[in-house]
Structure 1
Amino acid sequence: MKVTLTGLLLILCCSIGFGQLAADDIYTIINKEVQLKRCPSIVVGTIDATGNRQIVGAGNFDDKKESKPDGNTMYEIGSVTKVFTSLLLADMAVKKQVNLDEPISKYLPASVTVPVIKGKPITLQHLASHSVGWPRMPDNWDPKDPDNPFADYTTEQLYNYVSRSNFDYAPGTWFQYSNPGYGLLGNILSLIAGKPFETLVKERICAPLGMTNTTITLNPDQLKKLAGGHSEYGAPVKNWDMPAIAGTGAIRSDINDLLTFAAANLGLVKTDLYAAMQLSHVPHISKGRNEGQVTLGWTLEKANDGDEYLWKDGTTGGYKSIILLNRTKKTGVVILANSMNQINDLAYHILMPAVPVKPYRYIWALHDFVLETVKNKNVDKAIDEYKGMKANRSPGLVFDESQLNYVGNDLRSMKKMPAAIKIFELNTQEYPNSSTAFESLADAYKRTGKKKEAIENYEKAVQLDPKNAHAQWMLEQLKK
C-alpha cells in the first residue's frame, strides 16, 4: 500500500547537484501520474530562496465535473497537522507558558493515571518527538462508522488509553511514531490555553501568517473547493473527522497557505513565530536505521553534501500530503493529492531531480473484477471466478490479501454484509497466517451480531499476532 521513505532518503543522502524543476516539467510529471491513476488530482507548490512561488495542478478534484486543482483547492493534510501542533507547543515554550520538560500529568485531569516508566515521567517533549513508547494507533477504538473511524472517538477514550498504557523502556529512549501521543498533545495545549485546538491554530499560527484557508471546520465556500478523497484504487471515500485527537491529523488546507507556512519555516517570511519555528526544528531523538532525527513534529535529514532537509507527510482515508524543505538552500515543495497513493517520491524528485520518480502502476484490477462480479452477478459466482483466475495465474492480476480485504470493506460500506462476510471468509482461507484478515472477518461478524464467531476470529487474529493490540482490546470488550 505504501512506498516507504527509506529508499528515497538513501538516494537523497547520496545525491549530488540541486535544482528545482520548472512548472512545465512539473506538470508533465504529475499529469502523467494522474493518467496512470495514482491520484485523481495532484497540486504542487514550490518556493525558491528569493520567495518566488510556482503552483501547478493536474487532474480533477471534483468527480462530477472538470475542476483542475489550483492554489485554493482544499485537501485534508492528515499528519502534516502535527507540525502545527508542535509549533503551538514551541510558541508556548518560547513565551514561557510551558516548559518542554514538564510532565504531562501536570496538565491532565486527576482522573487520568499517566504511567511513570523506570522512574521517568512522560513530558511534553516526549509527546512532540514521538518518544513516549505508544504505538501508531490507540487500541480502544470501535467506530460506529468504520469509513470515518475517529468521528466518535472521545476524549474519555483517549484518557482511558493513556491510563491503561504500559511499555518496557523509559520515555525519551526510543522513537515510536504515535498518533494518540499527538492527539493527547493537542488536547493538553487546549487545556492550557482554555481554547479549542482549532481556535489555537487559527489565532496563534494562521492569523499572524495570513493563512485564511487552514482550518478544521469548513465554511460553505471552502466546502465547494474541497477535493473529494479516494481510496488507493480510486473509489470515493468519506472525509475523516477526529474531534478528540484533532492535534494528530484533523486540519484541512490549500497550497497557498502551506507555501506560506513553508516560507515562514525557512525564514523567508518575517514573523514573530520564527523563534518558535526554529525551536521546533531542533532534533531530539534518532529514528534509527539511518532515517534521520525527530524534531518537534518534523524529520530532519542531512545529505552528504551537508544540506539539511526537513519533511513531514500526512495521510487520511482519501488524501496524501507532504512538505519538504531544504533548510540550507531555503527552498521547498508542498504536494497535496486526493488519494491514498504515495506522493513522496514526486516531492523528492521535484526538489532534487537526481531522485527518480517511480511511475505508478495500477494494481487493483483483481479487486475491481471481483467487486463488479459480486454487484452484477452474486458473491458465489465472484468467488468461483476468483479461484479460477488464481488457478490459471491470469496475467496482469496481483493476488494478495489486500485485494479481497478491500472488496469486503466495499461490500460492508454498501451494506451487503452477507456478501462481505463471504469475501472476508475467503480471505482467511487464502491467507491463513494473516492477523489482519481474521480481524476484518471478526469485525464483520461483530457488526452483524454474531458474537461467538467474532470472538473466535479475534482470538485467531491475536494468536497470529500477539502485538495486535486493537484485536486484543476488541476481544476483551466482547468477552465482557
Structure 2
Amino acid sequence: SPQADIRKLLAQFAALLVFVSLLLAGLGMNLGSSHFPARETLLFRWGAEHFLIATTMLVVGLFAILSWNSTFPDSRDVMVLAPLPIRSRTMFCAKIAAVGTSLALTIVALHVLSTLIWPFSLGKPVPETRMPALTSDPAMRPVSLDDLPAVLRRDLPGGNGDITVGVLQHGRRQVLSFGAAKPDSIFQIGSITKTFTALLLARMVEQGRVRLDQPLRELLPEDAVKKPRKLEITLLDLATHHSGLPRMPDDASLDTPYSITQLLEFMHRNGVAKLPDTSFNYSNLGFALLGLALEQRAAEPYADLLWEEVIRPLGLRDTAIVLSSDQEARVVPGYDPKDRPVHNGEFGGFEPAGGIYSTAGDLLTYLDLQLHPDKSPFPAAIRECQNLRADMFGNSKIGLAWMHDGIDGTYSHGGATLDYGAFVTFDPTQDLAIVVLQNRRPVALPFVETMTQHIRERLAGHAAISLAELTVPASGGALSVIRMLGVYWLTLIAAGTFIFSSVLAIQGLGAQFLPRRAFLRVSSFLQLALFALFIAVYLLQPMFADAPALVAAQRSTWLSWSPSYWFLGLMQSLSGAPFFPHLARRACIGLAAALALTAAAYTLSYLRTIRKVVEEPDITPGLGRLNWLPQFGGSLETAVTQFSIRTLLRSRQHRVILAFYIALGLALVVLFFLKTDLGQRQMLAEPNVPFIAASIPLMCAWVAAIRVVFGLPLDLRANWLFRITPLPAGPRLLIARRRAFLVLAVLPVVVLSAATLGAFWPWRLALAHVAVLALIAYTIAEVSLYGAQ
C-alpha cells in the first residue's frame, strides 16, 4: 500500500541518516587535524558549525514532511484506541510524545557518530584572539572629505599596524596615515601589480606587437612547450584568469624566489592545453607567464618594459619594482599576522603578478586616470582594461585584471604579500576612488577590504561595516570540550525543534482554518513547496559560512532571515563568544514562536474533536470535468496506464514519494551548477557541456522516482487495485506495464525538455539533446522491465 511505501521510505531515510553521520564524523576529523592561525581557525570553526546546523535543519525538515500524515491524531488512532479504556487526552498526549520521540531519534541518528568527533574538533585549543566584530556601525550623515580624517580616527581601532588611506572624490583627494606610516610611505601592493601588467598588455596590443587571442606558446622561447592538439591558452585567458592554470606551481616555495627558468620548466611539463568552458580560477602563475610573454616579445626585462610603457608615461614617481635608495628609506617595515618582522623578499619570475611597490598618492593618480581615461596618454588602452570580458562568480565579471562588481558598479583589486596588504577600488558612477595600504599580511577577514567598504559607506551616509574588534577568550582543555559537547547538542536540538515545529504549525493551523476539502487538496502542494524551500535555502545560502556571509547575516540582507544563521548566533552565545548577539535573539524568538504556534495547533486539534483533525484519504475525489484520458491500446493497457496517471494526479502520498526523489535530483543539479559557476550566467542562453551533463542525472532521477513510486513495471505494489483484481500474465501485461512506465517516466522528460530547450537553443541542437535524453530514458525503462512476467 502507499502507507507501507511511506514506512519503507522512512526506514531508508533513517539508514541514510546514520550514513550521513559517518560522513560528518569524517569532516570533523579533518577539521580537528587542521592547523591554521587563530583567526582562520575561528572563522573555519564558525563555517563548520553553520554547516552542521544547516544540515540538521534540512534533515529534520525533510523528515517532518515525510511524516506529515503521522504527526496529528486522525481517525485511525481513534478507531484503534476507541474500544480500549483510554481517555481521549491520554491518546492525545501519547501522540505528542510519539512526535517528540521521532524528532529526538532523527537528530540522534544524524549525529550518533559525529558527536564522537565534532565537540573535540570544535573545542580544540585556540589562544585569546582579536577578531573583527562583523557588525555595522549606525548610519550618519554623508561624510565629506574634510571630515573623513576625524571620523576614521574615531572608527579605527588600534592594533592594525601602519596604514595609509587615499580617497579621491570628484577631483578632490585626501591622503591619510595612521600609526607610524606617513602620507608618502611606500608599501608593497602585491597583486594590484596585475592591473599594471594588464595595462602593459593593452598598450602592446594597441601598438600591434601582440594580440589578445594570441597563443601563449607563440611568445615563449622556441621549443619551450609543444603545440596542443585542440584549444590552447591565449594572452586573454591569462589576463582574465580563465586559463585553467593553478594559483601557483606545485613546486613553488615561499622561502626562495621562483625563477623564469623554473617557470619554463613547469610549463614544459604541464603544457598549454586548455579545456573548453574553462571557468574563472585566480592564478598568480597565469600573470607571471603573461609578463614573461610580453618581455619575450619586447626583448627587454619586465621591470624596464613596465617603466617605459606604463609607469613613466602615467607620471607615477614612487611606483617601481626596483627602488632607489631614497625610496627604500620610505618603505614601511612589514609584519606577518603574528606581528613578526618579515624581510622583503624577491619575486623572481613572479614580478608581473605582485612585485610593485607604490604609495597611496601614486595609486590615487593611477585610479584617477582609470576614472578619466582621456587624461591619460593612452586612453584606449585603459578603456580596454575595463572592458568586461568574462564571468567570475555571482554578479562579478572581469576585464583585463580589473574585477567588476555588477551590484555596486565598482572596479577593484586586492593585493597581499607575506608582510603587506593592499586594496584599491574605483567607481565611475560616483567619481570615487579609494586606496588602503597596510603593513600586515592579510589572513582571514582582510582588514584592507573592510576598511575600503567602511569608507565607501561613510561617504554615502549608510550604516558602515564596523572596524571594531572583539576579544575571543582562549579555549582548550577538558572543560572546553565538555562545554562544547553540551553546546553542540543544545544548539542542534533547538535548531531541529524549530524547523520541525514550524512544519507542524503550518500543517496543523492549515488543517484547522481551511475547509476540509480545501485542505485535502492543498496539503500535498504544501509538502512539495516545503521540499523545494528547504532544499533551495540549504543550497543557495553559503553552507560553510565565510566572512562575507557572516557580515551579511548581520546587516539586514536576506541571509539575516536564514534560520540556520540565527542558530549559529545562538551557538556562539551558549559557548561564551561575544559574536552575533542579534542572530541569537532571533533564534530565541523564532523558536518560541514556532513552539507557541505548534502548541496552538495541537490545542485546537484537541478541542475541535480528534476525529476531525488532519484526516486525509490517500486518494482524493477527482474533478469530473478534468477526468478524461486517452486510450492506450486495448482494455488492459488502457486500465493500467490510466490508473497510474490518475493515482499520481490524485494521491498525496504518491506525490510525496515522487517529490522526495525529484528533490534529491534537483539538489545534485543545483550543487553541480554552483560548483561549476554555471548558475552565475545564463545557462540556457547557448548550448554548453555543463548544462547537458546536468540534465541527464535529473532525467534519471525522474525515471527512478516513477519506478519507486509505482513499483513499475515489476510488481505494481503501490496500485492496490491490481493486487486484488486478477490480471492475465504474459505479453499483454508486460506491454501494459511498459506503456504506463513510458507515459509517466519518459514522455514528460521528452515534452519538458523539448519545450524548454526549443525556446532557447537552435532547433537542431535542441532536437539532438532531446533525442539523447529520450534514448537514455527509454533504455532505463527497458532495463527496469528485466525479469517482468
TM-score, length-scaled by structure 1:
0.65
Any gaps of 5 or more consecutive residues in structure 1? 5-15, 62-68, 367-384, 395-480
Which of the residues 188, 192, 199 maps onto 1:80? 192
- How many residues align? The count is 344
Aligned residues of 1:186 and 1:247 also touching (Cα < 8 A): yes
Aligned match of 2:233: 122
Alignment of 1:80-159 (within 5 A): 80-113=192-225, 116=228, 119-142=230-253, 146=254, 149=255, 151-159=256-264
Aligned match of 2:416: 315
Aligned residues of 2:233 and 2:273 also touching (Cα < 8 A): no
For 1:114 and 1:103, locate their aligned partners in 2 and report how far apart those are by CA, in whole Å: 12
For 1:355 and 1:320, locate their aligned partners in 2 and report how far apart those are by CA, in whole Å: 25
Shift, 1:357, TM fit: 2.4
Shift, 1:356, TM fit: 2.6
Aligned residues of 2:226 and 2:271 also touching (Cα < 8 A): no
For 1:268 and 1:289, locate their aligned partners in 2 and report how far apart those are by CA, in whole Å: 28
Aligned residues of 2:451 and 2:467 also touching (Cα < 8 A): no
Aligned residues of 1:45 and 1:334 also touching (Cα < 8 A): yes
For 2:440 and 2:292, locate their aligned partners in 1 and report how far apart those are by CA, in whole Å: 28
Which of the residues 397, 403, 407 maps onto 1:299? 403
Aligned match of 2:595: none
For 2:421 and 2:379, locate their aligned partners in 1 and report how far apart those are by CA, in whole Å: 27
For 1:137 and 1:299, locate their aligned partners in 2 and report how far apart those are by CA, in whole Å: 20
Aligned match of 1:48: 169
Cα distance per residue 1:455-475 (max 9 Å; x no partner): xxxxxxxxxxxxxxxxxxxxx
Which of the residues 38, 58, 68 maps onto 2:178? 58
Aligned match of 1:335: 436
* Structure 2 CA distance for partners of 1:102 and 1:59, relative to 1, 3 Å: same
Aligned match of 2:145: 22
* Structure 2 CA distance for partners of 1:190 and 1:172, relative to 1, 3 Å: farther
Which of the residues 385, 393, 402 maps onto 1:280? 385
Which of the residues 320, 335, 340 maps onto 1:230? 335
User: Is structure 2 residue 267 aligned with structure 1 residue 162?
Assistant: yes
User: Is structure 2 residue 346 aligned with structure 1 residue 247?
Assistant: no
Aligned match of 1:476: none
* 2:415 aligned counterpart, secondary structure: strand
Shift, 1:302, TM fit: 2.4
* 2:454 aligned counterpart, secondary structure: helix
Aligned match of 2:467: 359
Shift, 1:108, TM fit: 0.5
User: Is structure 2 residue 361 aligned with structure 1 residue 256?
Assistant: yes
Aligned match of 1:33: 156
Q: What is the RMSD of the two structures over their aligned residues, measured on CA atoms?
A: 3.1
Any gaps of 5 or more consecutive residues in structure 2? 1-38, 45-138, 485-789
* Structure 2 CA distance for partners of 1:28 and 1:363, relative to 1, 3 Å: same
For 2:424 and 2:465, locate their aligned partners in 1 and report how far apart those are by CA, in whole Å: 17
For 1:336 and 1:44, locate their aligned partners in 2 and report how far apart those are by CA, in whole Å: 6
Shift, 1:282, TM fit: 1.0
Shift, 1:152, TM fit: 2.9
* Structure 2 CA distance for partners of 1:358 and 1:308, relative to 1, 3 Å: same
Shift, 1:233, TM fit: 3.0
* 1:130 aligned counterpart, secondary structure: coil
For 2:483 and 2:301, locate their aligned partners in 1 and report how far apart those are by CA, in whole Å: 55
For 2:140 and 2:210, locate their aligned partners in 1 and report how far apart those are by CA, in whole Å: 42
* Structure 2 CA distance for partners of 1:171 and 1:165, relative to 1, 3 Å: farther
User: Is structure 2 residue 448 aligned with structure 1 residue 348?
Assistant: no
1:336 is matched by which residue type in structure 2? L
* 2:323 aligned counterpart, secondary structure: coil
For 1:27 and 1:190, locate their aligned partners in 2 and report how far apart those are by CA, in whole Å: 46
* 1:352 aligned counterpart, secondary structure: helix
Aligned residues of 2:189 and 2:420 also touching (Cα < 8 A): yes
* 2:335 aligned counterpart, secondary structure: coil
Aligned residues of 1:138 and 1:180 also touching (Cα < 8 A): yes
* 1:308 aligned counterpart, secondary structure: coil
Aligned match of 1:215: 320
Cα distance per residue 1:313-369 (max 9 Å; x no partner): 100011111111102222111111111231112112212333632335377986xxx
Shift, 1:115, TM fit: 6.5
Aligned match of 2:309: 204
For 2:151 and 2:340, locate their aligned partners in 1 and report how far apart those are by CA, in whole Å: 24
1:56 is matched by which residue type in structure 2? L
1:359 is matched by which residue type in structure 2? L
1:312 is matched by which residue type in structure 2? H
Aligned residues of 2:454 and 2:467 also touching (Cα < 8 A): no
Aligned residues of 2:227 and 2:272 also touching (Cα < 8 A): no
For 1:365 and 1:251, locate their aligned partners in 2 and report how far apart those are by CA, in whole Å: 39
1:22 is matched by which residue type in structure 2? L
* 1:92 aligned counterpart, secondary structure: helix
More helix by share: 2
Alignment of 1:390-409 (within 5 A): none
* 2:342 aligned counterpart, secondary structure: coil
* Structure 2 CA distance for partners of 1:243 and 1:129, relative to 1, 3 Å: same
Q: Which moved more, 1:196-205 or 1:230-239?
A: 230-239
Aligned residues of 2:397 and 2:406 also touching (Cα < 8 A): no
* 1:47 aligned counterpart, secondary structure: strand
* Structure 2 CA distance for partners of 1:236 and 1:192, relative to 1, 3 Å: same
Percent of pairs with identical residues: 27
Which of the residues 259, 267, 281 maps onto 1:176? 281
* 2:334 aligned counterpart, secondary structure: coil
* Structure 2 CA distance for partners of 1:391 and 1:129, relative to 1, 3 Å: same
For 1:202 and 1:173, locate their aligned partners in 2 and report how far apart those are by CA, in whole Å: 33
Cα distance per residue 1:143-168 (max 9 Å; x no partner): xxx4xx3x431112111222233799
Aligned residues of 2:373 and 2:382 also touching (Cα < 8 A): no
Shift, 1:268, TM fit: 6.4
* Structure 2 CA distance for partners of 1:364 and 1:273, relative to 1, 3 Å: farther
Aligned residues of 1:100 and 1:123 also touching (Cα < 8 A): yes
Aligned residues of 2:168 and 2:368 also touching (Cα < 8 A): yes
For 1:362 and 1:166, locate their aligned partners in 2 and report how far apart those are by CA, in whole Å: 48
Aligned residues of 1:183 and 1:248 also touching (Cα < 8 A): yes
Aligned match of 1:440: none
- For the pair shown, the structure with the greater C-alpha radius of gyration is 2
Aligned residues of 1:233 and 1:364 also touching (Cα < 8 A): no
Cα distance per residue 1:359-411 (max 9 Å; x no partner): 35377986xxxxxxxxxxxxxxxxxx9758966989xxxxxxxxxxxxxxxxx
Aligned residues of 2:228 and 2:273 also touching (Cα < 8 A): no
